[in-house]
């Protein structure tokens, strides 16, 4: 399993990064390309939070404990089956 982040919902609060024992997440500013497809509310929210978002950088380290899903204040994370190449 690996976490999948709904970038439009994410406010980059960093709770996922704090609770994950395996350094699966990174918080950084989303690029313009990564923000493509956001609706009006998501664009506004992104702007207000300086476009800070969580990204999954080490998906293969996920132990599917679910801590990040519970910790996210925006309910922006779900766990999905991970198929490594």
Whether 29 and 60 have beta carbons less than 8 Å apart is answered as no
Task: Tell me the closest approach of the beta carbon of residue 12 to ligand SF4, in angstroms.
Answer: 16
Nearer to ligand SF4, 44 or 80 (CB): 80
Residue 8, number of CB atoms within 10 A of its CB? 17
Ramachandran area for residue 57 (φ above 0: left; ψ -120 to 50: alpha; else beta):
alpha
Nearer to ligand SF4, 27 or 79 (CB): 79
Nearer to ligand SF4, 13 or 65 (CB): 65
Binding positions for ligand SF4, rule: CB under 6 A: 3, 19-20, 22, 24, 62-68, 79
């Amino acid at each position: 399993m690996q976490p999948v982040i709904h970038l439009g919902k994410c406010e980059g609060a960093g709770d996922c990064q704090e609770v994950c024992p395996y350094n699966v997440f990174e918080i950084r500013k989303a690029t313009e390309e990564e923000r493509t497809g956001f609706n009006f509310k998501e664009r506004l929210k992104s702007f207000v939070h300086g476009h800070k978002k969580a990204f999954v950088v080490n998906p293969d380290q996920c132990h599917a404990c679910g801590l990040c899903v519970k910790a996210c204040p925006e309910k922006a994370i779900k766990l999905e089956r991970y198929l490594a190449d």
